[in-house]
Amino acid sequence: MKTKKTLKIITGAIVFLTLPSLLFFGFLYFKYNEDLPTGIQGEKADALAYNMLEALDYDAYKNTNSMEWTFKKRHHYNWNKSKNTCEVFWKDYKVYLDLNDNSQSKVYIHGFIIDSDLSDELIEKAIHYFNNDSFWLVAPYKVFDDGVERRLVKTDNNKDALLVTYTSGGSTPGDSYLWLLDDNGKPKAFKMWVSILPIDGLEASWSDWTTTESGAQLPTFHKLLILGLEITDIKGTK
């Protein structure tokens, strides 16, 4: 009897703890989940992408050689964009990433260089952090990267939007993003169809833009549902 009662209590506790979460997820899923929109590839899609880059002064970003930022107060980056290397800092770790040749990357713990199985693990983690966190900073400038497909989509209010699909590269190839633009062609948000999220079509804002010393325009805040993604300590130099 005691065993049966204990199991009943445990089952009740699990239901009590998980049911609200399941109900909340179900609410979010039915409220926000969207199918990936269809769009048309070609000159009009590319023209919309070029217009977005012009609104952001792409040349200023292109001529920015070094960038620095902190993502969510957890990861800090010194990115030498011209050399394609980046120093990634978190906790007691520093990883020097050679983004052209990972075998040349180096790992430091408390300022001391290490070379072990742990260093390989930390390099992979730093690459993942960099791919994710830099995307939230510079994604609009990557719409003409190799392996990117661009499509023109008409939104429900008959506005032009840019659907971008990454067929290769990064940590999660195959992800798609629908850029929503203001009247000047500048990004104000995107919707995401990504493998890491269980709900398709979630929208994240791109706002609170800042202009670096080099002239590059970069966002400092994203809102995703009730979550805020803050990017601080942004610097960009030629």
Question: Which residues make Cβ contacts (< 8 Å) with residue 183, sequence separation at least 6?
Answer: none
Q: Which two tokens stand for residue 219?
A: 């966002």
* DSSP code for 142: G
Q: Which residues, other chains included, contact 104 with Cβ-Cβ below 8 Å and sequence gap of 6+? A: 98
Residues in CB range of 86: below 8 A, 6 or more apart? 77, 78, 79, 80, 96, 97, 99, 130
**Band (28; pLDDT cuts 50, 70, 90):** low
**pLDDT beyond 90 at 75:** yes
Tell which residue, 237, 128, 216, has the closest CA to residue 172. 128
* DSSP annotation string for 76-136: EEEEETTTTEEEEEETTEEEEEESS-GGG-EEEETTEEE-SHHHHHHHHHHHHHHHHHHHH
CB atoms within 10 A of CB 97: 23
On the question of pLDDT at 174 being above 50, the answer is yes
**In Å, how far are 56, 143, 164, 232 from 209, measured between CA atoms?**
10, 19, 21, 11
Task: Look at residue 12 in the predicted model and tell me its pLDDT.
Answer: 39
Of all residues in the chain, the percent with pLDDT exceeding 70 is 86
**pLDDT score, position 224:** 95
What value, to the nearest 5°, has the Cα angle with vertex 20 and ends 14 and 21? Answer: 85
* Alpha-carbon gap, residue 189 to 124, rounded angstroms: 29
pLDDT for the residue numbered 22: 52
- pLDDT tier at 180, thresholds 50, 70, 90: very high
pLDDT(9) > 60 = no
Give the residue with greater pLDDT, 181 vs 117. 181
Identify the bridge partners of residue 207 per DSSP, sorted by sequence position: 221
- Is pLDDT of 23 > 60? no
pLDDT at 86 over 60: yes
pLDDT at 54 over 90: yes
CB distance 162 to 68 below 8 Å:
no
Q: Tell me what pLDDT residue 5 has.
A: 41
State how far the Cα of 12 lies from the Cα of 208, in Å rounded to an integer.
46
| pLDDT > 50? residue 118 | yes
| Chain-centre distance for alpha carbon 205 | 12
pLDDT for position 32: 77
Q: How far apart are CA 105 and CA 160, in angstroms?
A: 42
For the segment 107-125, the average pLDDT, to the nearest whole number, is 94
Residue 63: its pLDDT value, please? 97
Please tell me the predicted confidence (pLDDT) of residue 94. 98
pLDDT at 159 over 60: yes
**Residue 47 · residue 53 · CB < 8 Å:** no
Task: Please tell me the total number of residues recorded for the chain in this structure.
Answer: 238
**Mean pLDDT score of the chain, rounded to an integer?**
90
